[in-house]
Amino acid sequence: MQYILSAFMLNRFFNRLFSILSSMSSIQKVKEDERGIRYVTGLRRYISVLLDLIIIVLFLNFYGQALNYLFINSESGKILNQVAAKYSIQVPLSIEEEMVKSKYVKLIILNQISQFIMLFCYVAYMWLKFAATPGKLLLGLRVLDANTLEKITLKQATKRFFAFILSVVPLFLGFIWAHFNKRCQTWHDKIAGTVVVTSRSLKYKD
């Protein structure tokens, strides 16, 4: 109950904040169509992405620590410290140290793969179920199908998830593009056929 109340209070705070500052282009860039649907980019959208990244990093860090705790005991930890020390002075490792090192490398690979799968499942589930990740929910935004303005499909979610990299890697050009698009679509929005709109404007949808 406490978490629900905190989320509600945060939602009210952000809604009030952006209702005051919504006219400032530095905060958000909004384009409205003939139906009253408001498409959003700018700082409001970027803050929602930042909030999501904070949540994701904290969760994945906790998951990684838990995985290490489950698979690496105190003795293995001591040996790993010895391995690190020997690497720094370029001393050959013992058979036991080689085994522990090999186990740790496999654990790292397993950790990375499992984190990636969990991240995709989490993001896709939020888009399919709530039409938004927590950051966008707090800031009153929704990710919808560009044609129907309904919740996106799993295929669209998959495309959007992987295409997000394309928007970020070349100096965030995919996000800058949204400022010049008539419906504020980023590159990953264009690839997946999605748009980001304000929740309040959806009441005008036919």
**pLDDT tens per residue across span 41-97:** 988 899 999 999 999 999 888 888 887 777 676 667 777 777 777 777 777 877 777
Do 197 and 37 contact (CB within 8 A), yes or no? yes
Do 179 and 41 contact (CB within 8 A), yes or no? yes
Burial class of residue 170 (count of CB atoms within 10 Å of its CB; 0-12, 13-18, 19+): exposed
Asked whether the CA dihedral 116, 117, 120, 126 is positive or negative, the reply is: negative
- In this structure, the dihedral spanned by the alpha carbons of residues 118, 123, 127 and 133, taken in order and rounded to 10 degrees, is 130
d(CA 153, CA 143) in angstroms, rounded, equals 11
Q: What pLDDT band is residue 18 in, cutting at 50, 70 and 90? A: low
Of 22-31, 38-47, 134-143, 182-191, the poorest mean pLDDT is in 22-31
Element (H, E) at 194: strand 194-198
pTM: 0.77
